[in-house]
Structure 1
């Protein structure tokens, strides 16, 4: 994803009205990341996000995709996990670029990496919106939902979400280029042929990737909370806490990034150092949402937790013999007794 190096006029060049980067044989750039506290801190955070997100979403794909019955809910979970998994898989490119302060992967990967990561940013966000709408419909119209919510229809919705995400990620194919600036090879945005290209891309991503999805999520969960409280459909406060956590996480993770990008549109009026720091921090806060999603959307679900315990214990059973089999049978009985529990919040 372009993120902080997308718009930074120094850290990674953005060409709008001036000449694009060109070869400079005199100046030799030396990376300074390991000398900066913020850069080292974000490097550690990025590696942690990559490891947790990569492994966590892989686990979700394995459990929801291969160990659980295929339902509408598991269709959402698997699709969301795939989106976040691919996102996390490409984080090493961002981390390497940040550390080296130089793009070493070539022109094709410059365009491809940025496009794929924006594809997964939008698809992940759209899937969160789809899950919110699905839960709202299930609470407001339970009978209709029971008769019309099918795996095939859910798959069509997922396909449309990914198709829209592909369209919105296409600007990276058009604008990303590789050049040399101040002695370093960079992957940058070339808006020289499009007078308002920079502003159009930034604002459209803000609206489609944050404002509209956030409004839809807020409306959906507000309706759900009011409905549950009015009908007293639950005796536990856990659903309300989970819903609050979902909305808060979405807002906290994505707001700093989008605000920083919008501020950078008028970078002449702001302190350059603060803009760079804000874009870097916003990048990894947005990335953190990719490993928080499996925790908030799946691991809190009773069905998934039961299936996870059974699946892990079945692996241990082969190594531990009869004791493992006894434990697994006990958990199986517990799972059947709790069969009414659902991951559907």
Structure 2
């Protein structure tokens, strides 16, 4: 396919107009990303998100899945970490595409990698909502929560959340496509087959992936804060700071992405450079949520921090103890040999 210039600068750009279909191009494409400050900055940020998110979520999976006793909370944390871990594992595809300004992974991976991004978006947001509602129920209805809050029910809720996320990610598989422009292959959203499909999908993602979850989270944490303020046992301001950080991170990471996706619906009335830059920055900010989740939702938890310290410190102590025992054995052998040698002399 051959595209107008406004559609070829960002892999997340959409197209819903008429195009001329061509299979080959006579142009030789050369990447200019490494010569642009914004592109290099986003590349560095994406690599950091990949490294921090991949390692951080792998650590959460290891501790919550294998080191901690299985509870309702660890079920939430493990599912959230798996979602973010899978997303981070596929980030190198986007990073490579951004650096090369060319999609070299084929038609199938164009659809699959994009669907993984939206699967993560919906699954992580749904899980954050579940965690918020669970905390709300535990604070407001503690007796009911103690009697009905079980691991089995939590597992069923997690499965339902994943099924909903998968169903909402299907449009990405359907409409994602590849095409050629000026000697390069791009992976983009092709909405030419169905009228109004672009608008319907963008609005549905905004509602299901941002507005409704954000309203639910705000309501839950507002009630929790009011409840904790009336609780005489709550003397520390840390719960309020943590909850404020959770809401702020969710809002900051996802708002720019959805704003520029909406602006893209009316791209004729906006500058191409603004939309292109906004989509790139918004996508990077949304990706940053994948490594902020384990920090905000897990590492701030006292149980997780205690288990993390115990696990890491115990391994270090064992390693040092083994080294010490090896050294002491070596020294004892050396001293005994020296003793035998002096006797012979």
- Give the TM-score taking structure 1 as reference length: 0.89
CA contact (8 A) 1:316 1:324 kept: no
State the partner residue of 2:342: none
Task: Quote the RMSD (CA, aligned, Å).
Answer: 1.6
State the partner residue of 1:169: 169
Structure 2 stretches of 5 or more lacking a match? 1-5, 326-345
Task: Tell me the SS of whatever aligns to 2:7.
Answer: coil
- 1:212-243 superposed Cα distances (whole Å, 9 cap, x missing partner): 00000000000000111123341110000000
Task: Tell me the SS of whatever aligns to 1:28.
Answer: coil
Structure 1 stretches of 5 or more lacking a match? 1-7, 326-345
CA contact (8 A) 1:317 1:323 kept: no
Runs of 4+ in 1 over 4 A off after TM superposition: 322-325
1:20–1:49 distance in 2 versus 1, CA, 3 Å: farther
Distance apart, 1:21 and its partner CA:
4.9
- Is the deviation greater in 175-184 or in 283-292? 175-184
What is the aligned residue count?
318
CA contact (8 A) 1:318 1:324 kept: no
Out of 7, 11, 15, which is 1:9 matched to? 7
Task: From the CA coordinates, give the structure whose radius of gyration is larger.
Answer: 2
Task: Tell me the SS of whatever aligns to 2:50.
Answer: helix
1:13-92 superposed matches below 5 A? 14-19=14-19, 21-92=21-92
Cα distance in 1 for partners of 2:20, 2:90 equals 26
- Is the deviation greater in 118-127 or in 183-192? 183-192
- 2:126 counterpart of 1:130: no
CA contact (8 A) 1:54 1:88 kept: yes
Cα distance in 2 for partners of 1:292, 1:80 equals 11
- 2:171 counterpart of 1:209: no
- Give the TM-score taking structure 2 as reference length: 0.89
Distance apart, 1:107 and its partner CA:
0.8
State the partner residue of 2:107: 107
CA contact (8 A) 1:53 1:291 kept: yes
- 2:321 counterpart of 1:321: yes
1:120–1:324 distance in 2 versus 1, CA, 3 Å: farther
- 1:35-72 superposed Cα distances (whole Å, 9 cap, x missing partner): 11000001000000000000000000001110000000
CA contact (8 A) 1:88 1:290 kept: yes
Cα distance in 1 for partners of 2:317, 2:323 equals 7
